[in-house]
Structure 1
Amino acid sequence: MTRNGSTTGLLATTCLATAVLVTTCFAGTSAAWAGQAPGAAAARDIPVSRHDRVYAAEQFSNTVSVTDPSDNTLLGVIRLGDPQPGNLSPLYRGQVLVHGMGFSPDHKTLAVVSIGTNAVSFIDTATNAVKHVTYVGRAPHEAFFTPDGKEVWVTVRGEDYIAVLDGTTFAEKTRIKVPGGPGMQIFSPDGTYGYVCSSFNPETVVISVADRRIVGRVKQESPFCPNIAATPDGKQVWLTLKDVGKTMVFDARPPFSVLKTLDTGPITNHVNFARTAAGMFAYVTVGGLNEVRVFRTDDFSQVATIPVGRLPHGLWPSGDGSRIYVGLENADGLTAIDTASNTVVATVPIGQAPQAVVYVPNAVPSGDGKQGLQPLATSGAAAQFTLSGPHQADAAPTSVSLFDQGLTQVLQASVTGLEPRKPYVLALAPNPDGSGALQPLSGFTTNPAGAAIVNAVGPIRQVVQGVESPPRYLVIAPGVPGQTGAPVQVQM
């Protein structure tokens, strides 16, 4: 694996040839296992080609990266906004915290949610041009088209409703009231139901798409669900619980009974599926372990653990299920997993802190699809650090990324290995062992899995890399700002 084009391109070409061979060999029986999420099982598989695109929403560079999966090459980025300090101006017109993503059934339109500016940007996949922006309520999180393409449902997580937009004009036409803090919605492949999990309340609701009524409720084992996905066969719905490190599975049909709860690990982020000749498998990103875990959907057994890199977040299958693409939030990377071997075959450098990822087959039917794209440039600039302590045996070390915003950086720490539900402080210490007077950067409380995502802003890279003298060191200490104990994790 390499971040330059040579090895990555060779591996990608080999995998593409393998995918085409598998498709050919199983042509007579492919109806038994074709169809990838979010489509139905009856849909045909679409082999990886240069017409496909992988998109990632990057929340600190405020970009959407565009990758060609045929050779795993970054083609460029769609710039929806500026980094700091440009986006602090009262006259700023761009987007902030580019985060959620969905696409239309005809694969011609990308819907991109920006949390900080309450926006859904609709992008033409053939030209990379923003053709419309719809502003909704406070802090939307995800948006997705109904399977018939007639509507776009947007979870307005900062409030208590789904904003229903017209699939052609993109104007808001109505709202569906749900429990406060809707995290994400996904639809049954046949378009009968919309499944909406919550990030603030321990309840998922099932909505009848035809009349927009709540027809089912599923109790979540915790209040924080960021992601939900439905299997292509229409039988199951999987949702992740980020705060407790679990993944729940319930019956996609009435009475929507819970089928299984899996302990997947700290900072469980997203889930998606790949249908292959060997069956259907759920892939779950576990940010606190820097892994993707793979489960069968028939007996829920775990069949693989795949190390992928720092803080895996969004993921999506290729049109034939031969690959799963994963965004690495604290590594500014897009990783490709070969689903036949469950190994990483390529990693592509992309923008800062990728969140949602989607794979859109045949997004560019003709041409090179580079129109309107800009180079990555400083949008991928970041520095990484690791913090660890004596109690990290059951979790990966805490990873810290400093996303370059000019003179300052946005710090994001994927904190693991601490006591659950306890207050801590991320701070700077004058000595490598963490001793001395601490300068607090951010106070936080760990979730029930002893983990947290922590953010801060400042010229931190210059401080910890010794550009400013004397250098200081990142640490985590128990307590609150101004009242801390001895550090329990120190910069390695």
Structure 2
Amino acid sequence: MNLNRLSLSLLALLPALASPAFAGQAPGAASAPDIAISSKDRVYLSDQSSNTVSVVDPATEKLLGVIRLGDQTPGNLSPLYKGQLLVHGMGFSPDHKTLDVVSIGSNSVTFIDTASNKVKHTTYVGRSPHEAFFTPDGKEVWVTIRGEDYIQVLDGATYEPTKRIKVPNGPGMTIFSPDGKYGYVVSSFTPEMVVIDTKTHKIAATVKQGSPFSPDLAATPDGKQVWITLKDVGKTQVINARPPFETIATLDSGAITNHVNIARNAQGQFAYVTVGGLNAVKVYTTTDHPELVATIPTGEMPHGLWPSGDGTRMYVGLENGNALAAIDTATNKVLSTIPTGQSPQGMVYIPNAVPSGTGTDNLTPLGSAGDAVHLTLAPAGAAGIATTVVVNNQGLVDILQAGVTGVEPKKAYFLALSNNADGSGPLDPVAKFMGNPAGAAIVGAIGPLRKSVEGTSGNPKRYLVIAPVVDDKPGTPIQIQR
């Protein structure tokens, strides 16, 4: 055999055997291999208003159907109701075979087989759980019980409760370091994040949050940083993922800063932050001094997001758009928008979720949950959009949600209906709310609202406005419907 030829062959083979320089996507480690997008992968979104899980094939960019976990309103208000309510949080097992779905209103974690879309088990936990994630070794599931002050630990195989970990009041979410050593837990009620040793279940450190309300966080695959969102003040905080866990930076990301996640590609490692008030995703470097590199318009109120298995895409749920946006991470542009269920909140991307077959068993069509009215509000004569509104069809009634910006912090307002397009005349209040420290709010209401805002035979069209509270009545509107 020609030794020179053998040597050249081995040299040619080495790059193929070695891990790619930019391998490894969240929540995994940077050393993990990338997995190219295929129809074996799935994107899952938790649809809070329709109580469904939307299932998307990222390769064909199509909604395959939904997993129905509960009924729409008012059927889910019955004392005899047994379905899930306010489907919200998501996680998945390290072997990619199990999806977990948290429902806030029914205090549950539902475990679903990714290959068959069939519910395997439902565990009921404490008041208002928010998110649930498997430990990297798959042995435990940590459920943040946001309505109380602990993490409920479940057995990763039986899904039964095993112990509680006491944390500051209102834990919002847990994410683990890529090596599995630490669990990082933010709070939605207390300005403290805690770092927990996963072996001892003891708190190893406490980190001051920039505000009391953090709903989401992500750990970088290189194990160096933790990014947390501060929804009430419109900021994003970057923390050293290793002792002494000091804050590296606090970024002004914008009103209704929702979720954060990480993507690694040929250009490096980047943090993507959904900013609902801007209807955009902001992209930052994950260097020692993070810098903004892109602001990507996405559609109505981006919320949850997750990278593809190779980091070439970042998928973003549009809460008021009832859709999924796919971002090309090389160009930071939206490539497609895919319809989903109502009010998507959390979401995950699971590579190789369906190793064989079509993976469409036990899915149902979206049906009437795909019906919605989308509106925007802004000050009279102003450019741009201040508030996005979606009115979701629930059958007998509708669920309205408004992502409000451009109001004064700690000031009371009404979302109201006017008979006139310019907002003049008597106003009928729909919901009362308070501006948060960033001058924003998420406002909800239930009623036969589509008939009002669309206008039908016998129902003249009416127009949404935002007006300050004056003597417990609506004052002069500051935002009117476009």
User: Normalising by the residue count of structure 2, what TM-score does the alignment of the two structures yield?
Assistant: 0.95
- 2:10 maps to which residue? none
Q: Does 1:246 align with 2:254?
A: no
AA at the equivalent of 1:82 = D
**Residues of 2 paired with 1:481 and 1:308: CA distance?**
39
- 1:61 maps to which residue? 50
What secondary structure is seen at the aligned counterpart in 2 of 1:461? helix
The Cα of 1:32 is off from its aligned counterpart by 2.7
- 1:19 maps to which residue? none
- 1:319 maps to which residue? 309
The Cα of 1:289 is off from its aligned counterpart by 0.4
- 2:409 maps to which residue? 420
The Cα of 1:434 is off from its aligned counterpart by 1.3
1:142–1:481 CA distance, 2 compared to 1 (3 A)? farther
AA at the equivalent of 1:484 = P
The Cα of 1:480 is off from its aligned counterpart by 6.0
AA at the equivalent of 1:321 = G
1:157 to 146, 150, 174: 146
**Cα RMSD after superposing both structures:** 1.6
1:480–1:213 CA distance, 2 compared to 1 (3 A)? farther
Residue-by-residue CA offset, 1:452-482 (whole Å, 9 max, x unaligned): 0000011111012222433321111011684
- 1:463 maps to which residue? 452
Q: Does 1:170 align with 2:159?
A: yes
- 1:284 maps to which residue? 273
**Residues of 2 paired with 1:392 and 1:80: CA distance?**
42
**How many equivalent residue pairs?**
468
> Would the aligned equivalents of 1:34 and 1:44 in 2 still touch at CA under 8 Å?
yes
The Cα of 1:145 is off from its aligned counterpart by 0.2
What secondary structure is seen at the aligned counterpart in 2 of 1:464? helix
**Residues of 1 paired with 2:156 and 2:460: CA distance?**
57
**Residues of 2 paired with 1:186 and 1:92: CA distance?**
32
The Cα of 1:25 is off from its aligned counterpart by 13
1:231 to 201, 206, 220: 220
- 1:354 maps to which residue? 344
The Cα of 1:391 is off from its aligned counterpart by 9.1
1:189-268 alignment runs, 5 A limit: 189-268=178-257
The Cα of 1:430 is off from its aligned counterpart by 2.1
Q: Greater CA radius of gyration, 1 or 2?
A: 2
1:70-469 alignment runs, 5 A limit: 70-298=59-287, 299-390=289-380, 396-467=385-456, 468-469=458-459
> Would the aligned equivalents of 1:418 and 1:446 in 2 still touch at CA under 8 Å?
yes
* Farther off after superposition, 102-111 or 480-489: 480-489
**Residues of 1 paired with 2:463 and 2:473: CA distance?**
18
- 1:485 maps to which residue? 475
**Residues of 2 paired with 1:26 and 1:95: CA distance?**
49
The Cα of 1:27 is off from its aligned counterpart by 4.7
> Would the aligned equivalents of 1:122 and 1:133 in 2 still touch at CA under 8 Å?
yes
Residue-by-residue CA offset, 1:109-143 (whole Å, 9 max, x unaligned): 00100000000000000000000000000000000
What secondary structure is seen at the aligned counterpart in 1 of 2:450? helix
What secondary structure is seen at the aligned counterpart in 1 of 2:116? coil
The Cα of 1:378 is off from its aligned counterpart by 1.2
**Residues of 1 paired with 2:187 and 2:159: CA distance?**
24
The Cα of 1:89 is off from its aligned counterpart by 1.4
1:173–1:57 CA distance, 2 compared to 1 (3 A)? same
1:52–1:26 CA distance, 2 compared to 1 (3 A)? farther
Q: Does 1:473 align with 2:458?
A: no
> Would the aligned equivalents of 1:391 and 1:418 in 2 still touch at CA under 8 Å?
no
Q: Does 1:35 align with 2:14?
A: no
User: Normalising by the residue count of structure 1, what TM-score does the alignment of the two structures yield?
Assistant: 0.93
AA at the equivalent of 2:426 = A
| Structure 1: runs of 5+ lacking an equivalent | 1-23
The Cα of 1:197 is off from its aligned counterpart by 0.3
AA at the equivalent of 1:91 = L
The Cα of 1:405 is off from its aligned counterpart by 0.4
What secondary structure is seen at the aligned counterpart in 2 of 1:462? helix
The Cα of 1:484 is off from its aligned counterpart by 2.7
* Farther off after superposition, 426-435 or 362-371: 426-435
1:246–1:27 CA distance, 2 compared to 1 (3 A)? farther
